[in-house]
Amino acid sequence: MTMKTRFAPSPTGLLHIGGARTALFSWLHAKKNNGTFVLRIEDTDLERSTPESVAAILEGMQWLGLDYDEGPYYQTQRFDRYEEIIQQLLDQGDAYYCYCSKEEIDALREQQMANKEKPRYNGKCRDSAAEQEGMNRVVRFRNPEAGEVVLDDLVKGKIVVANKELDDLIIARTDGSPTYNLTVVVDDMDMGITDVIRGDDHVNNTPRQMNILKALDAELPRYAHLPMILGDDGARLSKRHGAVGVMQFRDDGYLPEALLNYIVRLGWSYGDQEVFTLEQMIELFDISKVNVSASAFNTEKLTWLNHQYIMNSEPELVAEHLEWHMQQRGIDAATQGPALVDIVIAQRERSKTLVEMADASVYFYQDFNEYDEKAAKKNFKQGTDEVLQALLDAFKSVSEWQGSDLHDIVLQTAEQLELKLGKVAQPLRVAVCGTGMSPSIDVTLALLGRDKTLSRIQQAIDYIKENKY
């Protein structure tokens, strides 16, 4: 039988890190075993599900590169099938109508909690054959009262739950709509899901779902429940730890490959290896090696890893992602300046994120009228205009604009003026970039090009004279 996994998010918000890890682990498990990966949108919560959340999930999956073999399937398109299964369970005697009011159930639970008992439905309607007309009713699954459920969890190991600990859960609401525990069972059964990988907040649901599958005479999938992700302070991951939508990481300048690499290490490891290509992840990933204990999210480590990817990935790949960030700054790199591949090569050593790289590269594409105050004060002094004028005259005589030739001119000008190299190169850098930080001066000038370099040097000369440095 072909292995089949699924990622089944509820579209009630953004795709977060926990969901992205579940998707990645399910995707890797399928890829490693030549299986099929399914995307299913569990949108039966009509009050909370939104088209915007669906779009956010699909965008996040696409950005991460987690391509799915089937789907996306939408539960709201399968209500007829759920109704059919609910009726089947009623006909088999594995489900029954419950007429207990919400007030009755609330009172029952309050009494049980007061008695320090586990809150659960007491089975009042379980053996009542009479139907009551005109009354609201739900449908409950008739959970076995004897025996036990044995779950051989691929991560947590063997889990045994006595059936007497499980109450008769609701599988259809008063309006006839199916509940999560019913829809997920039907979908997994109909779609032939063999391996269910999900967060450990579903552990309590699994024995109930297994009993419904048994009542339907369906094949039981293998289950793997992933431990939660914590912040680096040990608290449950929240927005203050970076528990934001996946696309926020794109906005913050992280490469999807770096984020995937970081996520795969949240609960799984392979020796001391920190950096994995996607091919290595597929080859080495083993769901049974996932840690049982919770993992901590650390933004500093993610940023370190992102820097490794920026430095060591193919420049063309990094440039593809950098282009989006330049566009956010109103820059069309194809028409306004140097190729982004060249920018990546020039800036990758000093840029931990693509946001840093983009911010530090704007001057290559957009002219400016102001200079960094500290840089100008430090480097624009009396006589600097004469240094820049000497450079400008020399650069005007260059026929081919190449970095090595430009560097030689800077060196020769320093020698002719009997100045240290920094007294020439640094004012030049501020003049052409507006700031005191840039790649090496020859690379900077080559990327800027002849026209931008000459006009900006002239602008700096005029600025220095006007401000009487």
Burial class from Cβ neighbours inside 10 Å (0-12, 13-18, 19+) for residue 264 reads buried
Query: Which of 116, 158, 239, 468 is labelled catalytic?
Result: 239
pTM: 0.92
pLDDT of res. 129? 62
Q: Starting at the earlier edge strand, list the strands of the sheet with 170-172.
A: 95-98, 138-141, 170-172
Determine whether domain 78-226 maps to CATH 2.40.30.10.
no
Give the helix ranges, DSSP H, for 313-440: 315-328, 333-336, 340-347, 354-359, 373-379, 384-396, 403-416, 421-433
pLDDT of res. 130? 65
Per-residue pLDDT of the chain (469 residues; tens, 9 = 90+): 799 999 999 999 899 999 999 999 999 999 999 999 999 999 988 888 999 999 999 999 999 999 999 999 999 999 999 999 999 999 999 999 999 888 887 787 888 788 887 888 887 888 876 666 656 899 999 999 999 999 999 999 999 999 999 999 999 999 999 999 999 999 999 999 999 999 999 999 999 999 999 999 999 999 999 999 988 777 777 666 555 789 999 999 999 999 999 999 999 999 999 999 999 999 999 999 999 999 999 999 999 999 999 999 999 999 999 999 999 999 999 899 999 999 999 999 999 999 999 999 999 999 999 999 999 999 999 999 999 999 999 999 998 999 899 999 999 999 999 999 999 999 999 999 999 999 999 999 999 999 999 999 999 999 999 887 6
Write the CA distances from 421 to 58, 183, 269, 441, integer angstroms.
53, 72, 49, 11
Question: What is the topology classification, in CATH, of domain 373-466?
Answer: Arc Repressor Mutant, subunit A (1.10.10)
pLDDT of res. 266? 95
Helix or strand run (H / E) with residue 187: helix 180-190
pLDDT of res. 469? 65
Neighbours of 454 (CB within 10 A): 17
pLDDT of res. 120? 80
Write the CA distances from 96 to 83, 134, 137, 171, 177, integer angstroms.
14, 17, 10, 10, 15
pLDDT of res. 108? 78
Catalytic (active site) residue 118: no
Core vs surface per residue 104-113: b (16+ CB within 10 A) or e: ebeebbeeee
Determine whether domain 4-76+228-301 maps to CATH 3.40.50.620.
yes
Neighbours of 397 (CB within 10 A): 7
Report the C-alpha gap between 407 and 419 in whole angstroms. Answer: 15
pLDDT of res. 165? 92
How far, rounded to the nearest angstrom, does the alpha carbon of residue 468 sit from its chain's CA centroid? 52
